[in-house]
Structure 1
């Protein structure tokens, strides 16, 4: 099992010193990666269905935030959980992601994308909320085309994006493409992971049986698409108080990675929780 940490400015605030201290502590303790969340804009009444999000919650741009973290660390991988893909143009996004990956020495390797669940956010960005799934699918294809393209250029004519003989450099660091994981709690997200993803990051409030059904659906879809289901990484959310027995159960369910959030308004308390967790699971200190 691999363990990563999640840092939410919505709950930890926007103090850059606190963010960097958190990232460096996670790296020194042996956590694999740091994940950040994404919202471009909120509004009064924004609701996922389980409660209203305060409109004043501060969300950093995830790639700007990860660039900042990368400059102050040397080993920890960089992740998004999740980046709202339908609201970014893939030509611009391909450039930004490759830039972070090159400048970090190849650490932008846990990109997880999702659709977004707030209609008002989609509307503000000129995106039809009902078509955001198709838009995300096409954006994934465009990202990979651009990263793999040579000096002769790449052409694409789809439902949402079109260009001819396009080149975008730099490419990702020492690899033809970046892994793209799919986040979500729906059957559609699981199928998208099987068809296009390098991994599936399961979200939502689901039973263990429902989660098993979704990862099975992702792997079955991968087989039907001629892909190797064994290469599909399975990521789940974890908690600071989870026991070794619980982690063993999740391992038995095929989970490869747990992303853990650590609460606490006091940074010292938060760091102590991280240290205790790392000791509990014998993470390799750096």
Structure 2
């Protein structure tokens, strides 16, 4: 099992010292990856499900935060959980992601994309909320096309994006494309993961039976697309106090990565939580603990 950890800027804050310390603590503790979420804008009345989102929540730009974290670490992989893909132009996004990957020497490898659930956010960036799924599908194709294309340039003609003879450099570090995982809590997201994704990262508020259905949808879609369903990574979020028995149960369900988050806001407390987690579940001594 691989273990990632999330740095939630609305909760932990956009503070350079705290972000750097958090990333360093996670790396020292043996976590595989660091995830950062995204919301581009908020507004009064914005809600996701029953949760009202205060407009003042300080969502930092996830790619800027990950680039900053990369400069203060050397091994930990970088991930988004999730990047709202329909609200980014894939031509500029391809450049940003490849640049982070090169500067981090190949660590921008857990890009997880989603559609977004706030209609006002789509409106703010000029995107038709109803078309964001199709837009995301095209964006995934464009990203890969640009990463794989050479000096001769590549072209694309779709519903939302069209261009001719474009070359995008630098390329990702040592690979022809970056992995793209698909996040979401719907069966459409599961199908997208199977058809186009390198992994699936479903949301947290799903019944176990629905999770099983969605994983089956993703794997069947992969087969339909001529892809290996067993190569599809399966990531799940979990509580920091998850037990070894619960980890084993998730592994039985096909989970390959668990992403947790520290509930503490101060660096010393975060270090202690990470060290305790690493000692309990990753077999690492609690090096660096403040106790």
TM-score, normalising length: structure 1? 0.98
Q: CA deviation at 1:208?
A: 1.2
Whole-angstrom CA distance in 2 between matches of 1:284 and 1:204: 27
* Inter-partner Cα distance in structure 2 for 1:132 and 1:57: 24
The aligned residue for residue 94 of structure 1 is 94
8 Å CA contact 1:82, 1:183 repeated in 2: yes
C-alpha deviation, 1:137, in angstroms:
0.1
Matched residue, 2:132: 132
- Residues 204, 237 of structure 2: 8 Å contact kept: no
CA offsets 1:207-243 (integer angstroms, 9 cap, x no match)? 1111111111100110111110011000000111110
What's 1:276 paired with? 276
Structure 1 stretch displaced more, 271-280 or 124-133: 271-280
**Aligned position for 2:61:** 61
The Cα of 1:204 is off from its aligned counterpart by 3.6
SS of the residue aligned with 2:163?
A: strand
Regions of 4+ moved over 2 Å: 282-286
Deviation at 1:192, TM superposition (A): 0.1
Q: Distance in 2 between matches of 1:283 and 1:93?
A: 38
Report deviation, 1:270: 2.0
- Compare 265-274 and 135-144 and name the one that shifted more: 265-274
Query: Which residue is equivalent to 1:202?
Result: 202
The aligned counterpart of 2:216 is: 216
Kept after mapping to 2: 8 A contact 1:30/1:283:
no
TM-score by length of 2: 0.97
Q: Which moved more, 1:84-93 or 1:264-273?
A: 264-273
Q: Does 1:81 align with 2:81?
A: yes
Counterpart residue number, 2:155: 155
Please list every run of 5 or more consecutive structure 1 residues that lacks an aligned counterpart in the other structure. Answer: none
SS of equivalent residue, structure 1 residue 188:
helix
Q: Any idea what SS the aligned residue of 1:192 has?
A: helix
Coordinate RMSD, CA, aligned: 1.0
Following superposition, the deviation at residue 3 of structure 1 comes to 0.3
Give yes or no for contact 1:13–1:58 (8 Å, CA) kept in 2.
yes
| Cα-to-partner distance string for 1:23-58 (whole Å, 9 max, x where unaligned) | 001001100000000011000000012211010000
**CA distances 1:117-163 after superposition (whole Å, capped 9, x unpaired):** 00000000000000000000000000000000011100111000010
Equivalences for residues 1-286 of structure 1 within 5 A: 1-284=1-284
More displaced 10-residue stretch of structure 1: 93-102 or 271-280: 271-280
- Measure the CA separation in 1 of the matches of 2:26 and 2:103: 20
- Cα distance, 1:266 vs. partner? 2.9
